[in-house]
């Protein structure tokens, strides 16, 4: 980064086991609570039913699993798309610490840009699940719940960024992100 910027904070999402444990707990809680809430809504609207056809249940189970794996790929692809849209260098995809990721290591973004990068997959995919829910409410509800729970790391990044004032820059790193701020002019005549 240029000489007029200083490192304000490093977020190490990959190697910080304490943070990963907290995010995993939040993810599990979010998945469970969203499934309960969506189940209540489906039951209240008479959309929840018990399927007695075992073969259909098994096929639906594998369909949900396959669609969820596909959604992971699409989720990371959306991150990658926005990394590139905002001028990111090479986008890398991988799996580390139990998480799939898209990254543009050592690329810098404004707070707004990184917030879009972090939040876009949640908005895009869950909008698709909402539309799918009109014809397949149970499958859409399960996908919505699992995907929302999988967005916990993105939500954490958004939380960190929203606490920061404007004027920061975010560097995407191999372990998370680093937040930079412009140096204040320390010359007394500029105070």
Mean pLDDT, the chain, whole residue set: 84
Domain spans of the chain, in order of start: 5-182
Q: What percent of the chain lies above the pLDDT cut of 90? A: 39
**In the chain, how long is the greatest CA-to-CA distance?**
80
- Tell which wins on pLDDT, 152 or 39: 152
Q: State the Cα–Cα distance between residues 16 and 12, nearest whole angstrom.
A: 6
Q: pLDDT tens-digit profile of 101-126?
A: 899 998 999 999 999 999 999 999 99
pLDDT at 60: 77
Distance from chain centroid for Cα 96? 15
Interval 24-33 mean pLDDT: 79
At 58, list the tokens. Answer: 């098994």
Q: Which residues contact 33 (CB under 8 A, 6 or more apart)?
A: none
């Amino acid at each position: 980064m240029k000489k007029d910027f200083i490192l304000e904070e490093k977020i190490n999402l990959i190697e910080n086991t304490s943070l990963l444990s907290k995010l995993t707990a939040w993810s599990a809680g979010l998945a469970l609570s969203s499934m309960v809430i969506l189940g209540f809504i489906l039951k209240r609207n008479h959309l929840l039913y018990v399927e007695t056809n075992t073969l259909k249940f098994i096929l639906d189970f594998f369909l949900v699993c396959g669609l969820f794996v596909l959604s992971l790929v699409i989720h990371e692809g959306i991150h990658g798309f926005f990394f590139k849209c905002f001028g990111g260098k090479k986008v890398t995809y991988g799996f580390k610490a139990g998480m799939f990721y898209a990254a543009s290591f050592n690329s810098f973004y404004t707070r707004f840009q990184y917030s879009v990068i972090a939040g876009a997959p949640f908005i895009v995919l869950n909008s698709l699940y909402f539309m799918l829910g009109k014809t397949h409410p149970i499958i859409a509800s399960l996908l919505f719940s699992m995907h929302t729970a999988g967005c916990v790391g993105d939500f954490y990044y958004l939380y960190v960024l929203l606490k920061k004032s404007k004027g920061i820059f975010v560097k995407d790193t191999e372990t998370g992100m680093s937040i930079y701020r412009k140096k204040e002019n320390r010359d007394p005549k500029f105070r």
